[in-house]
């Protein structure tokens, strides 16, 4: 009765917001699910409603009343608004998969504390020790591409999973443990956007089973680390040694086993698909824009000439101005996370619209990244847009504010190293005609997985 009364009250409060709340209870869930599979993927639902109602509209999906809005003012309020005004909004499946202690499900002081603990090993200093592993893995991976036809998306996925598996828990890139880790991770990741039906046969059911297996694997690794049987200087060790509840020191800085495991899974999920998608789009955009590829190649070949055949160094990777612009333009043009979702924790107002506590508010980032007043000819791939400083909140590739991506340095490192070896040693041609269709997933990725034929230069 409470839910019905509340829902009726909200519907009334939403009267001034354009849009359609669909059928009672199910709302517009069926359209949302069916439009997922269209060429524009998850964005299709939003774009179609914007055509009918404008950039601000309401809807109801999977039992949630939602408002979509866009613009730098809305971005500023939603992403950096005063403490406790909004929280991150995950669908039920995401909440169950990541666990209640996940960074994505904590707010306020608890969130700040977790960010601090996680942020340390992901800082530039903390990442330095993984550079050699990433460099060697990029060289090996690309060696295997040469003379073959490959799907970039699949290969990028294997590369980024090996990097993050090694960084977090020193997993070897080959072998039985890597295979098991990969299989479980794939099942968990694909259930993330599935329907919340936990019954045998469904993706969600398989995902939760795979999560259990992944946690058993983590338990056994944590046990070995604690007993001193194995000691590695990786992400897991840094959290176990400094922050585990069984160790000494103040409890303020400690993590329970549940927090440890939920957050390792959170980093895997949040860091894998995003970096895979970014690397794949970047290679695709380079293939479609030969003049950008040429300019990028010059930046990387200059490093090679300068080092006279010696390997890429840590200092080189941190000084790649054109590569940084190419990555930003990739994230703008592809906008791999099309909207950032928040739940109002109190009543507030944006652009004259009254938002009530409990509503979901989605910030449409696609429109922000394609605003022709900031990015003329928005569909053109042009890294020179990032030469001059941009208006605040006009580029949100890694988000902004307290929830800004903590994996930004790792993502940039992986992508820069990989691209260095790719453009210095190889050329490639796409085996299909240009197509911007995307997969039916939350993170936007090319539908055709970008099939290419690779040759040594
Ligand atoms: C190119 C690759 C990546 C992109 C484009 C990306 C993008 C983003 C964006 C836009 C957000 C903020 C979303 C929001 O405000 O709702 C975010 C948050 C997050 N990202 Fe990334 N990310 C990338 C790589 C990574 C990596 C490698 C990791 C981990 C190792 C990671 C971990 C996270 C986590 C844990 C959050 C949540 C932060 C919080 O709630 O405080 N990301 N990412």
DSSP-derived secondary structure for 120-183: TTTSHHHHGGGHHHHHHHHHHHHHHHTTSEEEHHHHHHHHHHHHHHHHHH---SSSHHHHHHHH
pLDDT in tens, 235-248: 888 888 766 666 55
Distance 9 CA to ligand 1 centre (A): 35
**In this model, does residue 251 exceed pLDDT 70?**
no
Task: Measure the CA–CA gap between 202 and 193, rounded to whole angstroms.
Answer: 12
pLDDT reported for residue 226? 82
**In this model, does residue 252 exceed pLDDT 70?**
no
455: helix, coil or strand? Answer: strand
- Residue nearest (by alpha carbon) to ligand 1 atom 21: 405
Distance 278 CA to ligand 1 centre (A): 12
- Residue nearest (by alpha carbon) to ligand 1 atom 2: 275
Residue 435 CB contacts under 8 Å (≥ 6 apart), including other chains: 446, 447, 448
Task: Measure the CA–CA gap between 273 and 157, rounded to whole angstroms.
Answer: 7
| Mean pLDDT, rounded, for 7-22 | 84
The better pLDDT of the pair 163, 27 is held by 163
Look up residue 289 and give its two tokens.
């824009």
**In this model, does residue 428 exceed pLDDT 60?**
yes
Task: Measure the CA–CA gap between 445 and 438, rounded to whole angstroms.
Answer: 5
pLDDT reported for residue 371? 96
pLDDT reported for residue 154? 97
Percentage of the chain exceeding pLDDT 90: 71
Tokens 């039985």 identify what position?
176
147: helix, coil or strand? Answer: coil
Gyration radius (Cα) of the chain, Å: 22
Question: Phi then psi for 302, rounded to 5 degrees?
Answer: -60, -35
pLDDT in tens, 57-78: 999 988 888 999 999 999 999 9
428: helix, coil or strand? Answer: strand
- Cβ atoms 99, 265 nearer than 8 A: yes
Tokens 């929830």 identify what position?
403
Counting other chains too, the contacts that 225-233 makes at CB distance below 8 Å and 24 or more residues apart are 232/169, 232/170, 233/129
Between the alpha carbon of residue 214 and those of residues 70, 179, 224, the distances in Å are: 38, 12, 16
Task: Measure the CA–CA gap between 122 and 316, rounded to whole angstroms.
Answer: 19
- Cβ atoms 69, 55 nearer than 8 A: yes
User: Minimal CA–CA distance to 157: which of 47, 80, 268, 78?
Assistant: 268
Between the alpha carbon of residue 259 and those of residues 101, 104, 212, 239, 446, the distances in Å are: 5, 12, 15, 11, 34
User: Minimal CA–CA distance to 442: which of 214, 269, 325?
Assistant: 269
Task: Measure the CA–CA gap between 385 and 213, rounded to whole angstroms.
Answer: 46
Q: Where does the pLDDT of residue 13 fall: very low under 50, low under 70, confident under 90, or very high at 90 and above?
A: confident
pLDDT in tens, 176-221: 999 999 999 999 998 987 888 889 999 999 999 999 999 999 999 9
Element (H, E) at 354: strand 353-355
Q: Name the pairing type of β-strands 360-364 and 64-69.
A: parallel
Tell which one of 407, 412, 415 to mutate to probe ligand 1, the residue whose CB is within 8 A of the most ligand atoms: 407
Give the range among 32-46, 87-101, 273-287 with minimum mean pLDDT. 32-46
- Residue nearest (by alpha carbon) to ligand 1 atom 19: 405
Distance 166 CA to ligand 1 centre (A): 19
Task: Measure the CA–CA gap between 12 and 276, rounded to whole angstroms.
Answer: 43
Element (H, E) at 361: strand 360-364
Q: Where does the pLDDT of residue 250 fall: very low under 50, low under 70, confident under 90, or very high at 90 and above?
A: low
pLDDT in tens, 344-374: 999 999 989 999 998 999 999 999 999 999 9
User: Minimal CA–CA distance to 299: which of 261, 326, 266?
Assistant: 326
Q: What rounded mean pLDDT belongs to the chain?
A: 91
Q: Where does the pLDDT of residue 8 fall: very low under 50, low under 70, confident under 90, or very high at 90 and above?
A: confident
Task: Measure the CA–CA gap between 138 and 160, rounded to whole angstroms.
Answer: 10
Question: Phi then psi for 36, rounded to 5 degrees?
Answer: -55, -35
**Cβ atoms within 10 Å, residue 355:** 24
- Residue nearest (by alpha carbon) to ligand 1 atom 18: 405
Element (H, E) at 88: strand 86-88
Task: Measure the CA–CA gap between 443 and 270, rounded to whole angstroms.
Answer: 10
**Cβ atoms within 10 Å, residue 129:** 13
Kindly state the DSSP code that residue 412 receives in the 8-state scheme: H
The better pLDDT of the pair 77, 41 is held by 77
| Mean pLDDT, rounded, for 367-384 | 97
Distance 366 CA to ligand 1 centre (A): 17
Tokens 């995950």 identify what position?
90
43 is in an annotated binding site: no
pTM above 0.80, yes or no: yes
- Residue nearest (by alpha carbon) to ligand 1 atom 20: 405
pLDDT in tens, 131-174: 999 999 999 999 999 999 999 999 999 999 999 999 999 999 99
Ligand 1 pocket residues where CB is under 6 Å: 88, 103-104, 115, 266-267, 270-271, 274-275, 278, 331, 336-337, 340, 397-399, 403, 405-407, 410-411
Specify which residues 363 forms β-bridges with.
69, 340
Residue 76 CB contacts under 8 Å (≥ 6 apart), including other chains: 392, 393
438: helix, coil or strand? Answer: strand
**In this model, does residue 418 exceed pLDDT 60?**
yes
pLDDT reported for residue 243? 65
**In this model, does residue 281 exceed pLDDT 90?**
yes
**In this model, does residue 87 exceed pLDDT 90?**
yes
């Amino acid at each position: 009765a409470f839910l019905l009364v509340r829902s009726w009250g909200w519907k009334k409060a939403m009267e001034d917001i354009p849009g359609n709340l669909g059928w009672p209870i199910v709302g517009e869930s069926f359209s949302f699910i069916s439009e997922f599979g269209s060429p524009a993927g998850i964005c299709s639902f939003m774009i179609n409603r914007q055509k009918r109602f404008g950039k601000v509209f309401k809807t109801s999906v999977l039992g949630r009343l939602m408002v979509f809005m866009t613009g730098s003012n809305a971005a500023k309020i939603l992403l950096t608004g005063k403490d406790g005004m909004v929280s991150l909004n995950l669908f039920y499946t995401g909440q169950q998969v990541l666990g209640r202690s996940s960074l994505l499900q904590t707010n306020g002081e608890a969130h700040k504390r977790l960010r601090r603990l996680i942020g340390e090993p992901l800082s530039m200093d903390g990442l330095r020790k993984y550079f050699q592993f990433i460099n060697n893995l990029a060289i090996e991976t690309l060696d295997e591409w040469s003379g073959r036809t490959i799907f970039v998306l699949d290969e990028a996925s294997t590369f980024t999973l090996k990097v993050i598996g090694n960084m977090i828990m020193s997993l070897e890139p080959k072998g039985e443990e890597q295979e098991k880790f990969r299989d479980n991770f794939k099942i968990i990741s694909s259930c993330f956007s599935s329907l919340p039906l936990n019954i045998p046969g469904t993706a969600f059911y398989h995902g939760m089973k795979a999560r259990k297996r992944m946690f058993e694997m983590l338990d056994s690794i944590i046990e070995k680390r604690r007993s001193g049987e194995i000691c590695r200087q990786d992400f897991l060790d840094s959290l176990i040694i400094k922050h585990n509840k069984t160790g000494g020191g103040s409890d303020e800085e400690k993590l329970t086993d549940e927090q440890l495991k939920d957050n390792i899974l959170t980093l895997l999920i949040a860091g894998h698909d995003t970096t895979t998608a970014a690397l794949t789009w970047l290679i695709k955009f380079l293939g479609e824009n030969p003049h950008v590829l040429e300019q990028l190649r010059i930046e990387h070949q200059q490093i090679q000439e300068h080092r006279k055949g010696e390997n890429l160094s840590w200092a080189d990777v941190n000084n790649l101005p054109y590569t940084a612009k190419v990555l930003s333009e990739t994230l703008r043009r592809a906008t791999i996370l099309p909207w950032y979702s928040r739940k109002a924790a109190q009543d507030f107002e944006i652009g004259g619209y009254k938002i009530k506590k409990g509503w979901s508010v989605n910030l449409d980032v696609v429109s922000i990244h394609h605003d022709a007043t900031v990015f003329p000819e928005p569909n053109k791939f042009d890294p020179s847009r990032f030469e001059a400083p941009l208006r605040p909140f006009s580029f949100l590739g890694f988000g902004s504010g307290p929830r800004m991506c903590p994996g930004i340095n790792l993502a940039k490192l992986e992508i820069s190293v990989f691209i260095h070896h790719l453009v210095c040693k190889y050329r490639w041609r796409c085996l299909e005609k240009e197509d911007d269709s995307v997969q039916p997933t939350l993170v936007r990725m090319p539908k055709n997985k970008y099939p290419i034929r690779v040759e040594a230069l």
